[in-house]
Amino acid sequence: MLIRKFVAEDRDAVADLWLTVFPRSTGHNDPGASIDRKMAASDDLFFVAIEEGNVAGTVMAGYDGHRGWLYSVAVSPVYRRRGVGSRLVQHAESELTRRGCPKVNLQVIADNSEVVAFYRSLGFGVEERISMGKLTGQ
């Protein structure tokens, strides 16, 4: 498996993957729009895992100088349980650490116990916080 930076030619495969993996996603998380916004940020923190010539998984990360975030960690059902997700998260963490990031956060839908267990296995813990959000430009 190869983990590399996202390139424009990955767009359709990544969008299809996200539509499969994130079926409960809301409108503001439209794959095409999310990809466009991330590419406009030009921060080089968007990675794909390539297996057998296919996009097997993705991770987007962000760093604002205070904390890092992981977004859109997705693994195709065909490639699950092969270490793809773990390697993607570790790759993103390594890139964030290289930039001086002291802490990484992520959000998981509360009732997604399988995903919570996955992140716990990688050393993440549930923090007593309330996640709040607001759509802008509405």
The predicted model scores a pTM of 0.91
The pLDDT tens digits for 100-132 are: 999 999 999 888 899 999 999 999 999 988 888
CA distance 138 to 134: 10
* Ordered structural domains, the chain, with CATH: 2-121 (3.40.630.30)
The pLDDT tens digits for 41-76 are: 988 999 999 999 999 999 999 999 999 999 999 999
The pLDDT tens digits for 4-43 are: 999 999 999 999 999 999 877 666 778 999 999 999 998 8
